[in-house]
Structure 1
Amino acid sequence: MIYKKRKMPNELKALISLDKRLPHTHEKKHAVQKNLLIYQAGYNGELEFDNEIANFKPNYPHAIIHDLYLHHEGTYFQIDSLLITPSSITIIEVKNFKDRTLIKANPTQFIRVFRNGNRKPIPNPIIEVERKIHFLQKWLTKCGIQIPIEGIITFSDTNELAIEHQTPEMKILLNSAVPPYLNSLPETQQILDQQTIEALANTMLAHHKDYNPFPIADLYDINPSDIKPGVICPSCNQIGMRWGREKWNCPCGHTGKTEHYQTIEDWFMLVKPKMTNREFRYFTKLDNRNIARGLLAKTGLQLIGERKAAHYILMKEGKSPILVE
Structure 2
Amino acid sequence: MIKKCRTIPLKILILAALLRRLHPNHPGRSKIGEELRFRRAGYYGELSLDYYIAQLPQKGHYIFHDLRLPLSNNAFFQIDLLLLSNRYFIIYEAKNHSGTLIFEEQQMLQTYEGRTESYPNPVVQVENQQYHLTNFIQNHIRIPLPSSSFVVVTNPSSIIKFDSRYEHIAGQKIIRPSAIRQKSELFWKNNQKPLISNADLQNITRLLLKLDTPLKPDILREYQVKKSDIHSGVYCDHCNCLSMVRAFGTWKCRKCGRADKMAHVQALIDYYLLVGDTITNRQFRNFLQFDSVSAATRLLGSLGFPFNGTFRNRKYELSLEKLRKWS
TM (normalized to structure 1)?
0.89
Measured in 1, the distance between the counterparts of 2:238 and 2:68 equals 35
Determine if contact 1:66/1:81 at 8 Å carries over to the other structure: yes
Q: Deviations over 1:53-107 (max 9, x none)?
A: 111227x611111111222322222110001134321111111012221113xx3
Measured in 2, the distance between the counterparts of 1:52 and 1:254 equals 41
Counterpart of 2:146, as a letter, is P
Counterpart among 179, 182, 199 of residue 181 in structure 2: 179
Measured in 2, the distance between the counterparts of 1:28 and 1:179 equals 42
Measured in 2, the distance between the counterparts of 1:266 and 1:216 equals 13
Measured in 2, the distance between the counterparts of 1:312 and 1:243 equals 21
Q: In structure 2, what is the equivalent of residue 247 of structure 1?
A: 250
Counterpart among 299, 314, 318 of residue 295 in structure 1: 299
Measured in 2, the distance between the counterparts of 1:159 and 1:22 equals 33
Q: In structure 2, what is the equivalent of residue 132 of structure 1?
A: 129
Counterpart among 204, 210, 215 of residue 200 in structure 1: 204
The answer to whether 1:93 aligns with 2:114 is: no
Q: Which moved more, 1:283-292 or 1:303-312?
A: 303-312
Q: Which moved more, 1:244-253 or 1:36-45?
A: 244-253
Q: Which moved more, 1:232-241 or 1:77-86?
A: 232-241
Counterpart among 270, 275, 278 of residue 274 in structure 1: 278
Measured in 2, the distance between the counterparts of 1:67 and 1:39 equals 14
* Cα shift at 1:18: 1.0
Measured in 1, the distance between the counterparts of 2:71 and 2:107 equals 28
Question: Paired residues, what number?
Answer: 317
Determine if contact 1:217/1:271 at 8 Å carries over to the other structure: no
Counterpart among 261, 266, 269 of residue 265 in structure 1: 269
Q: Deviations over 1:189-233 (max 9, x none)?
A: 3313555434432332232232222x5323432111111211112
1:33–1:300 distance in 2 versus 1, CA, 3 Å: same
Measured in 2, the distance between the counterparts of 1:154 and 1:218 equals 32
Determine if contact 2:68/2:76 at 8 Å carries over to the other structure: yes
Determine if contact 2:103/2:121 at 8 Å carries over to the other structure: no
The answer to whether 1:221 aligns with 2:228 is: no
* Cα shift at 1:158: 3.2
Which residues of structure 2 form unaligned runs of 5+?
none
Measured in 1, the distance between the counterparts of 2:34 and 2:56 equals 34
3-state SS of 1:146 partner = coil
1:216–1:309 distance in 2 versus 1, CA, 3 Å: farther
* Cα shift at 1:280: 1.3
Q: In structure 1, what is the equivalent of residue 323 of structure 2?
A: 321
Could you list the runs of 4 or more consecutive aligned residues of structure 1 that deviate by over 6 angstroms after TM superposition? none
Counterpart among 148, 151, 154 of residue 150 in structure 1: 148
Q: Deviations over 1:218-253 (max 9, x none)?
A: 343211111121111234433211111111112423
Counterpart of 2:251, as a letter, is W
Identity in percent: 27
| Aligned 1:8-19 pairs, distance under 5 A | 8-19=8-19
Measured in 1, the distance between the counterparts of 2:126 and 2:81 equals 11
Which residues of structure 1 form unaligned runs of 5+?
none
Measured in 2, the distance between the counterparts of 1:180 and 1:227 equals 49
The answer to whether 1:168 aligns with 2:169 is: yes
Measured in 2, the distance between the counterparts of 1:184 and 1:8 equals 31
Determine if contact 2:305/2:317 at 8 Å carries over to the other structure: yes
Measured in 1, the distance between the counterparts of 2:163 and 2:132 equals 30
Counterpart of 1:209, as a letter, is T
Counterpart of 2:276, as a letter, is K
* Cα shift at 1:322: 5.2
Measured in 2, the distance between the counterparts of 1:149 and 1:228 equals 49
Measured in 2, the distance between the counterparts of 1:158 and 1:199 equals 41
Q: In structure 2, what is the equivalent of residue 49 of structure 1?
A: 49
Determine if contact 1:72/1:138 at 8 Å carries over to the other structure: no
Determine if contact 2:45/2:96 at 8 Å carries over to the other structure: yes
The answer to whether 1:231 aligns with 2:234 is: yes
3-state SS of 2:291 partner = coil
3-state SS of 2:190 partner = coil
Going by fraction, where is helix more abundant, 1 or 2? 2
Counterpart of 2:121, as a letter, is N
Measured in 2, the distance between the counterparts of 1:254 and 1:134 equals 54
Determine if contact 2:109/2:118 at 8 Å carries over to the other structure: yes
Measured in 2, the distance between the counterparts of 1:305 and 1:322 equals 25
Determine if contact 1:70/1:76 at 8 Å carries over to the other structure: yes
Measured in 2, the distance between the counterparts of 1:109 and 1:200 equals 33
Q: Which moved more, 1:253-262 or 1:6-15?
A: 253-262
3-state SS of 1:190 partner = coil
1:278–1:216 distance in 2 versus 1, CA, 3 Å: farther
Counterpart of 1:130, as a letter, is E
TM (normalized to structure 2)?
0.88
